[in-house]
Copies of this chain bind each other. A is one copy, B any other.
Amino acid sequence: MKKLINGVESVLEESLNGFARAHSNIIQFNHQPHYVTRKNKPENKVALISGGGAGHEPLHTGLVGKGMLDAACPGQVFTSPTPDQMLMAAQEVENGAGVLFIVKNYAGDVMNFEIAAEMLDCPHETVLVNDDVSLPKNHSTGRRGVAGTLIVEKIVGAAAEAGADLAACKQLGDKVVNSTASMGVALTSCTVPALGQPTFDISDNEVEMGVGIHGERGREVMSLTTADDLVHILAKAIDEELKPTKDQRVLLHINGFGATPLMELYLVYDLAAQFFEERGIKIVRSLVGNYTTSLDMAGCSITLTLMDDEMLQYWDAPVHTAALRWGI
C-alpha cells in the first residue's frame, strides 16, 4: 500500500485536521466525537446534517457551508459514523427550525442515524437517498445512496437557506431523490488504509459494473470495453429508471471515484450528454469531477436529475463550501 500517510491509525484525524485548517473560514471541526459544522449559521434555519464513512471526500465534509450542510459526521473510512456524532452535531447546529438528516441508504448509515434520531428531542426528519439503479427498485435492502446525494444536499441546502421549513425541506429532498438516478463502474478496487491491500482483485481486462462507493464489488464483472459501451450501459439503466420525456430539463453529473483523471471524466460527460441529447432531453446543468469518491478507486458514475424550475433555482443559488462554490 502506497499512501501519503503517517500510519493507518492517525490518517483520518490528521486529514480532518488539515481540512479544518484549510477551511477555517467556513467550518469548524469538533474532535471528540468527530463532526464538522458550518460557521455563521443563521438563526431559525432548518439544520441539514449528513454523514457517512470517510473516504468519499469531498462528500460530506466538503459540502458543509452556506447554502448546503450545517454539519457532517465522518465515520472511520467506509464505516458509518456513530449515533453520538450525529446527536451532538444536531444539538450544536439546531436552532429552532428542526433537523433534517440526509442519509445514504446503507444498513450502517441508516441504523446509526435512526438511533440518533430516536434520541434527539427536537423536530426532525430524514431524507433517505437511494439513487443507485444498479439494483432493482425492490431490492431487499432498497437501493444504495451514491453520487446523487450531493444534488439532494445542494438543492435542499438552498431551500433551507431561503427559509423553507422542515416539512418543505423533507418534501423537496424526497422529490430530488425521486428525480435522481445514478450508476457507476469501477476499473480498479480501492485500498482502505486499515486493510493495506485492495478490497477486491480485478484483472486488467475486467470492470466491476454497478458498484457502490465503499470499494465493494459491483453487480457483475464485465470485460473491459470502450467508454462508449460502458457509458451506454450506465446511461441506459438511468434512462429506463427515470424515463425522461422529450424536452425534459436535466442536470447531468459525472462523478469520478478518485483516481480517474478529469480527461476521462469529461470524455464520459461527452458520451453521456450525447446519449441523452439524442433522446431530446435538455441538459441544462452539469457537474464533472471527483465529488463522491471511493478513496483511490478508478472509475466513475453517471447521475441524472430531472429538474424543474424550483430545483433549478435552488441549484443555482449561492453556495460556499470547500468543494462547491458559486455566487459567493
Contact = CB atoms under 8 A, between A and B. Distances in A.
B15 A266 contact: yes
Contact of A3 (B264, B293, B325): B264
B266 A16 contact: yes
A326 B296 CA distance: 28
Contacts of A62: 262
A300 interface: yes
Given A17-B270, A266-B18, A293-B261, A6 B227 contact: yes
Interface stretch (A52-60, A150-158, A166-174): A52-60
A87 interface: no
Given A227-B5, A296-B298, A300-B4, A14 B267 contact: yes
B325 A262 contact: no
B327 A288 contact: no
Interface string A262-278: 11111111110100000
Given A227-B6, A228-B6, A15 B263 contact: yes
B288 A22 contact: yes
Interface in A42-62: 54-55, 57-58, 62
Contacts of A207: 2
Contacts of A123: none
Nearest to A2: B187
A6 B57 CA distance: 28
Contacts of A96: none
- Chain A, interface residues (CB within 8 Å), range: 35 or more
A22 B267 CA distance: 10
Interface in A97-142: none
Contacts of A266: 15-16, 18-19, 22, 57
Given A295-B261, A296-B260, A270 B6 contact: no
The 3 tightest CB contacts between A and B, nearest first, are A18-B270, A18-B266, A57-B262
A328 interface: yes
Contacts of A286: 21-22
- Among A6, A187, A271, the most chain B Cβ lie within 10 Å of the Cβ of A6
A230 interface: yes
- Among A22, A298, A327, the most chain B Cβ lie within 10 Å of the Cβ of A22
A230 B4 CA distance: 8
Contact of A326 (B262, B263, B298, B325): B325
Contacts of A233: none
A273 B22 CA distance: 9
